[in-house]
């Protein structure tokens, strides 16, 4: 069975003052029945780990380097994230693909590095608006999926996040039919390649909020969400967690 996961991506937001949001989220969900994850900036992972104590809340990085160590100024390895208290890392977010020119081949190498370090990789894929309007969505996503997911991936070590680029931070969301079509296609493609496609958690991401979460989670093969803006405040993220429970 695919695990249910509510994941928050704080992106380049948050300083030590933001740790109070972690305390508030834990207070709102002392014993969550689904997996809950926050990916703060890497500078906060160690402090967040201390702040959460023994609570089941997961912590993740937002990116990692494909190498274990070396001359890569400013980069962080998956081992470093793990050492700071992370158990997950997002790879291939569309902002990394766009801002840093990351290819699916690089994303796959990062996912491999993540799992070798003992982290669960959340591999992001998504089409642009131009690609959707050209009717290329399923072909583009399959290309990204096949190239970004390593052969060594298993449902235990890998989560896939479908994030239409045009829905991220825009307030726009695909229709339920559009999300359903994509998630069914991902489920089937993973099943064909790995034989256990039914077990991979498939997250939807793109302008998820408390008011639309329950509808999105009711779509077949949607096992949770990767949430940006609405994960910054516990008051906004908590209703999304509740909708998944």
Applying CB under 6 A, which residues contact ligand PEP? 9, 163, 168-169, 205-208, 226-230
Q: Which CB sits closer to ligand PEP, 85 or 206?
A: 206
Distance between CA atoms of residues 188 and 231, nearest Å: 30
Distance between CA atoms of residues 145 and 150, nearest Å: 9
Active site residue 21: no
Do the annotations mark residue 110 as ligand-binding? no
Do the annotations mark residue 229 as ligand-binding? yes
Find the helix packing angle between 137-148 and 176-194, rounded to 10°.
40
Which residue in the list 112, 163, 183, 187 is annotated as catalytic?
Answer: 163
Do the annotations mark residue 53 as ligand-binding? no
Distance between CA atoms of residues 137 and 128, nearest Å: 8
Which residue in the list 21, 29, 65, 93 is annotated as catalytic?
Answer: 93
Give the 3-state secondary structure of residue 115.
helix
DSSP state of 76: -
Nearest approach, Cβ of 140 to ligand PEP (angstroms)? 18
Do the annotations mark residue 171 as ligand-binding? no
Nearest approach, Cβ of 206 to ligand PEP (angstroms)? 5
Q: Are strands 224-227 and 5-9 parallel, antiparallel or unpaired?
A: parallel
Which single residue brings its beta carbon nearest to ligand PEP? 228
Distance between CA atoms of residues 161 and 226, nearest Å: 7
For 5, list phi and psi in degrees, rounded to 5: -140, 125
Active site residue 93: yes
Do the annotations mark residue 9 as ligand-binding? yes
Distance between CA atoms of residues 57 and 234, nearest Å: 13
Q: Which CB sits closer to ligand PEP, 38 or 208?
A: 208
For 39, list phi and psi in degrees, rounded to 5: -115, 85
Question: Binding site for substrate: which residues?
Answer: 9-11, 169, 207, 228-229
Question: Binding site: which residues?
Answer: 9-11, 169, 207, 228-229
Catalytic residues: 93, 163
């Amino acid at each position: 069975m695919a695990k249910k996961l509510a994941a928050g991506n704080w992106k380049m937001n948050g300083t030590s003052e933001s740790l109070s949001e972690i305390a508030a989220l834990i207070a709102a969900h002392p014993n969550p029945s689904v997996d809950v994850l926050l990916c703060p900036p890497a500078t906060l992972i160690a402090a967040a780990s201390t702040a959460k104590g023994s609570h089941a809340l997961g912590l993740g990085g937002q990116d990692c380097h494909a190498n274990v160590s070396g001359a890569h100024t400013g980069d962080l390895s998956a081992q470093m994230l793990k050492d700071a208290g992370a158990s997950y890392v997002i790879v291939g977010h569309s902002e990394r693909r766009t801002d840093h020119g990351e290819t699916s081949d690089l994303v796959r190498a990062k996912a491999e590095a993540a799992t070798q370090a003992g982290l669960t990789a959340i591999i992001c894929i998504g089409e642009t608006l131009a690609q959707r309007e050209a009717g290329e969505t399923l072909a583009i996503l399959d290309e990204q999926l096949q190239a970004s997911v390593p052969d060594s991936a298993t449902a235990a070590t890998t989560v896939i996040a479908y994030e239409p680029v045009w829905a991220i931070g825009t307030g726009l969301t695909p229709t339920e039919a559009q999300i359903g079509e994509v998630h069914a296609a991902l489920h089937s493609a993973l099943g064909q390649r790995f034989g256990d496609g039914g077990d991979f958690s498939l997250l939807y991401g793109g302008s998820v909020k408390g008011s639309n979460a329950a509808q999105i989670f009711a779509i077949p093969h949607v096992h949770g969400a990767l949430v940006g803006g609405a994960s910054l405040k516990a008051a906004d993220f908590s209703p999304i967690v509740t909708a998944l429970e």
